[in-house]
Amino acid sequence: MITQHFSTLVAGLLVAAAIPGQALAQNDTGKAVYDKVCVACHSAGIAGAPKFGDAKDWAARIKAGMDTLYESAIKGKAPAMPAKGGATDVSDADIKAAVDYMVAAAKNGGSSAAAPAPAAAPAAAAPEAAPKPRPAALSFNRLLKPASKRNPPPPEDGIHDPDNDGSYALQPPLSVFEGLPRSNAGNRINWVKALDSNQIAPRWDRTDPTAAPVVMDLNIVREVKGSMPDVVYPHKQHTAWLDCSNCHPQIFIPQKGANQISMAAILLGQKCGVCHGKVAFPVSECRICHSKKKDVMPVKNANAQ
């Protein structure tokens, strides 16, 4: 509420001061894009990204000129900046607005709640980006976890007690996740890839660091209904982490056709859902399991013949 009142007030003041409403709207768009996309790296300054609000990080870049900055943002820049920060669906003008927002913040040393966009911004904006202030309630994917809230350190994660001194001694996830292969769900780490590439070396035995699993390389194909690709279950990736007895025979009877598996059961934490959806990658990653395309059947028109 307070913010709303405040922004109304600010808007009123700005209009009263005869600053074009466009500038504010641009800045709103810029902030929205920043909060959704750029924040993932620029909030903490990950992988050499100039940190949000850090005048020192930004000074040289601002000196190079806004056009250069826009180009780096839109086309990407080695070594780590992907084109449009990876969000290729965002329009050029919106990306520019985000750059303006970040530059304004850097110039203000981080306190940029209502920093007006540089005068050049509205002029540079392409006409397709008709500035449209978006109410917060209409923000895209409002129930999803924003990038800025991923992998927080324990005292800030909402379940650890910030009043507990022990919470501050615990390892922050990002201190180890940096550099590991990423994924789009769960811890946002591709654990299988991390293990395969020897980037992590979890012990197979509690005390013996040299013990190694007996990996069984056997794929089980499960044909599924409808047009969904068939499931390929790889023993290989599972036996690298687990013992046979973890799954057999309690969860899966080791016999072809003996196991009824449905997505409903998995969603409720049974069958594959004993791990997938709790600790292994969740069911949102359909195609990791449903990975075998069905042979295209020639369409026979039984009625005609």
Partner 1 sequence: MSFSHAARPRPGLLLGGLLSVVLAGALMAPGDAHAEYGDVVINNYSDAAGMRPVIFPHWFHRLRFRCKVCHADLGFQFKAGGNEINMVKIIDGQFCGACHNGDIAWSVENCNLCHSAKPGTPTQVHESTIQKLAIQPQAGGQK
119 or 267: CB nearest partner 1 = 267
> Can you say whether residue 19 is alpha, beta or left, with left for phi > 0 and alpha for psi between -120 and 50 degrees?
beta
- Measured CA to CA, the distance from residue 87 to residue 74 in angstroms comes to 10
- Measured CA to CA, the distance from residue 37 to residue 81 in angstroms comes to 12
Would you call 261 helix, strand, or coil by DSSP? coil
- Measured CA to CA, the distance from residue 56 to residue 180 in angstroms comes to 29
43 or 167: CB nearest partner 1 = 167
- Measured CA to CA, the distance from residue 109 to residue 115 in angstroms comes to 11
Which residues bind to partner 1, rule: CB under 8 A? Answer: 142-143, 145-146, 149-152, 154, 156-161, 164-167, 169-171, 173, 176, 185-187, 189, 191, 200, 202-207, 213, 240-243, 245-246, 264-265, 267-270, 273-275, 277-279, 282-283
75 or 149: CB nearest partner 1 = 149
218 or 268: CB nearest partner 1 = 268
133 or 153: CB nearest partner 1 = 153
Smallest distance from the beta carbon of 200 to partner 1, in angstroms? 6
Smallest distance from the beta carbon of 103 to partner 1, in angstroms? 27
CB neighbourhood size of 91 (10 A): 16
Would you call 52 helix, strand, or coil by DSSP? coil
Smallest distance from the beta carbon of 220 to partner 1, in angstroms? 19
